[in-house]
Structure 1
Amino acid sequence: MDIAPEELQFLTVSDILKESTSIPKLSPRTFYLITLTLIFPLSFAILAHSLFTHPLLSQIQDPYGSHSSEWTKLLVFQFFYLIFLFAFSLLSTAAVVFTVASLYTSKPVSFSNTLSAIPGVFKRLFITYLWVSLTMVVYNVIFLCFLVLLIVAIDTQNPVLFVFSVIVVFVLFLVVHVYITALWHLASVVSVLEPIYGFAAMKKSYELLKGKIGLAFFMVFGYLVVCAAINGVFGSVVVHGWEYGVFTRVVVGGFLVGVLVIVNLVGLLVQSVFYYVCKSYHHEGIDKTALHDHLGGYLGEYVPLKSNIQMENLDV
């Protein structure tokens, strides 16, 4: 990034998008291979998932006959789908964040180096993801409780309880869910670029988000809306749109997969750039030499003598 570190804090959403989309030009071959081998399979699986589950669900909803075999197939498919989604999501994050940081520190970038770094990065991201998952479990339990309360309010025709439940459910779904998602994405970057992960990375992410929550909310909400729109069109045209014909469905499906690939790649680049924006806002300089050595540790090039790499409150 050519922008001075102290100026990064002033970037707007459009500036961050512009900066993010310019990064692949610095190493097009590396990002092309990352996109082809990691982000494309992830995006394809997200959209193609409904193609395989829809026939099974249709058979299960058939009131006649036994559906034990269909339920077994659905559960097995869902299990492997979630494993695949989880693995490629973390792999894509690890690859993009590591590559962007390498470019930021002027470290030589190549696809082979990125692949070599992934095992070390993956472990840290996995532990952070477990803490985020625990947070999401707590959130879902609370959300479910208020959803049940909303149903009770409808059944009992209690207007006060109904309004209260609707407001809480709306806030939990729209605000809290988006905030946890932003916290997770930023904690993922922290886990790669700083010597902390897990709960410590989430705590650091929480601190970095202060003062930039509005910007983070806007970007995460926009990303989720775009993904939901893509999935909606894919479901209505490709999965359920028998009237459109096979050729049209294949063309639309291929186009939407390509769009989702671009959206996911840009999303990963944005979360990397946003990390530097937050660091700049809190006047936490990043020692590029220390970061360079930290990244080299994933490649076996450098073994830190201390567990705490100082990357804060330093002039670049």
Structure 2
Amino acid sequence: MDREQEEMQFLGFFSILKESSKIIYSWRKIFSQISFTLILPLSFIFLIHIEFSNLIFSKIRHNTSQIFETQKGTPQYEKLSDMITSEWITFWLFKIAYFTFLLIFSLLSTSAVVYTIACIYTAKEVTFKKVISVVSKVWKRLMLTFLCTFAAFFAYNLIALVFIILWIITIGGSGRNSGIIVLVIIAIFYFVGFVYLTLVWQLASVVTVLEDCYGIKAMKKSKELIKGKTFLSIVIFFMLNVSFILIRLLFKKVVVNGWKLGSVDRTAYAILCFLLLSGLFLFGLVLQTVLYFVCKSYHHENIDKSALADHLEVYLGEYVPLTAKDVQMEQYQV
């Protein structure tokens, strides 16, 4: 990142993509090490989850259809019932393990990438060993921010559910066109709010790593930073998520369901999806961090590189976060 902080505010969508690509290419060694250690396992966990979930559901559907055709009280019925119960238990245990490992590797990957880019920004020497030593401590702060975000999403979905129930009670069952229109309006507002909360969460993750706040404070800081750059954030969000959906769709249709797509076998497509998803995860994390610096610059908050470099050091084996007084941001005039 050889741009001055004041220049970052003028970066548009394509400039941010170019800057992120340049960072990854220029520092490909350290990012390759991070990818092999954290991001590749993250991608593998996600893809194997799709394959395994599809396998279990196929067995559950098959046994469920069989039990409907079997007389109750027979040994065959009891056997099928036990199998279905066992499969559902396996399914939920797998889901718990999946979300646990997905969350752990997501937090570790975010910590590693954001910290690395901060070191690059301050022209500070960065090694994989140093990144891992810091990441092992920073992820706890990220976990608290995630829990606060999870609570916000839970409350948001609960409110949306209340509105839907009220819609059903009042005008949903009347069959009038006005009822459908109200439901569409609720769905639109829900989607907009969901996207906004996601944007705040993603930027809050970067704030948590680079500043002295986490949890609700990081979310509030993220909310302030995103002002003025909301449209740019939305464009990046949709670009990443459309790419993610396309990769997931390709994997599910070709690898999981076995659709024929040319003469290439399923293994080759599985490897392709695996590499594409890993690259997308890395690129997305770099984009989020670059967007953070763009938002900082837009709000005329200049980062003192020397102070930032000092606070990125590992002090007596413990990560020292940025402080608002010494590092966070000094106002500059444009």
Give TM-score, length-normalised by structure 1: 0.92
Contact residue 211 and residue 324 of structure 2 kept, 8 A: no
Contact residue 116 and residue 298 of structure 1 kept, 8 A: no
Contact residue 178 and residue 221 of structure 1 kept, 8 A: no
What displacement does 1:190 show? 0.6
Quote the Cα distance in structure 2 between the aligned partners of 1:156 and 1:304: 57
State the one-letter code of the partner of 1:169. A
Structure 2 vs 1, CA of residues 189 and 158 (structure 1 numbering), >3 Å: closer, same or farther? Answer: same
Contact residue 105 and residue 288 of structure 1 kept, 8 A: yes
Q: Which of 153, 163, 175 lines up with 2:181 in the alignment?
A: 163
State the one-letter code of the partner of 1:79. I
What displacement does 1:282 show? 0.3
In the alignment, structure 1 segments of 5+ residues that lack a partner are: none
In the alignment, structure 2 segments of 5+ residues that lack a partner are: 68-79
Structure 2 vs 1, CA of residues 209 and 244 (structure 1 numbering), >3 Å: closer, same or farther? Answer: closer
Corresponding residue number in structure 2 for 1:196: 213
Deviations 1:94-143 (A, max 9, x none): 00000000011111111101001012211111111111111110122233
User: For structure 1, which segment, 282-291 or 235-244, has the greater mean C-alpha deviation from structure 2 after superposition?
Assistant: 235-244
Corresponding residue number in structure 2 for 1:48: 48
What displacement does 1:309 show? 3.4
What displacement does 1:312 show? 1.5
Structure 2 vs 1, CA of residues 144 and 27 (structure 1 numbering), >3 Å: closer, same or farther? Answer: same
Quote the Cα distance in structure 2 between the aligned partners of 1:258 and 1:306: 38
Structure 2 vs 1, CA of residues 50 and 232 (structure 1 numbering), >3 Å: closer, same or farther? Answer: same
Quote the Cα distance in structure 2 between the aligned partners of 1:230 and 1:72: 29
Quote the Cα distance in structure 1 between the aligned partners of 2:228 and 2:205: 19
1:98 aligns with 2:115: yes
Quote the Cα distance in structure 2 between the aligned partners of 1:289 and 1:139: 40
Measured on the aligned residues, the alpha-carbon RMSD in Å equals 2.4
Quote the Cα distance in structure 2 between the aligned partners of 1:58 and 1:182: 35
Percentage identity across aligned positions?
43
Contact residue 209 and residue 321 of structure 2 kept, 8 A: no
Give TM-score, length-normalised by structure 2: 0.88
Corresponding residue number in structure 2 for 1:225: 242
Quote the Cα distance in structure 2 between the aligned partners of 1:302 and 1:181: 27
Q: Which of 204, 215, 222 lines up with 1:187 in the alignment?
A: 204
Contact residue 2 and residue 121 of structure 2 kept, 8 A: no
3-state secondary structure, aligned to 1:10: coil
Alignment of 1:299-314 (within 5 A): 300=317, 308-314=325-331
Quote the Cα distance in structure 2 between the aligned partners of 1:34 and 1:136: 29
User: For structure 1, which segment, 26-35 or 259-268, has the greater mean C-alpha deviation from structure 2 after superposition?
Assistant: 26-35
What displacement does 1:217 show? 0.8
What displacement does 1:171 show? 2.6
Corresponding residue number in structure 2 for 1:24: 24
Quote the Cα distance in structure 1 between the aligned partners of 2:284 and 2:320: 31
Quote the Cα distance in structure 2 between the aligned partners of 1:315 and 1:298: 29
Quote the Cα distance in structure 1 between the aligned partners of 2:249 and 2:258: 12
Structure 2 vs 1, CA of residues 107 and 305 (structure 1 numbering), >3 Å: closer, same or farther? Answer: closer
Corresponding residue number in structure 2 for 1:178: 195
Contact residue 39 and residue 88 of structure 1 kept, 8 A: yes
Corresponding residue number in structure 1 for 2:158: 141
Quote the Cα distance in structure 2 between the aligned partners of 1:84 and 1:305: 28
Quote the Cα distance in structure 2 between the aligned partners of 1:302 and 1:315: 28
Structure 2 vs 1, CA of residues 42 and 236 (structure 1 numbering), >3 Å: closer, same or farther? Answer: same
Structure 2 vs 1, CA of residues 307 and 186 (structure 1 numbering), >3 Å: closer, same or farther? Answer: closer
Quote the Cα distance in structure 1 between the aligned partners of 2:183 and 2:57: 31
Corresponding residue number in structure 2 for 1:113: 130
Deviations 1:249-279 (A, max 9, x none): 1111110111111111110000010000000
Structure 2 vs 1, CA of residues 150 and 102 (structure 1 numbering), >3 Å: closer, same or farther? Answer: same
Q: Which structure: larger Rg?
A: 2
What displacement does 1:166 show? 1.1
3-state secondary structure, aligned to 2:326: coil
Corresponding residue number in structure 2 for 1:129: 146
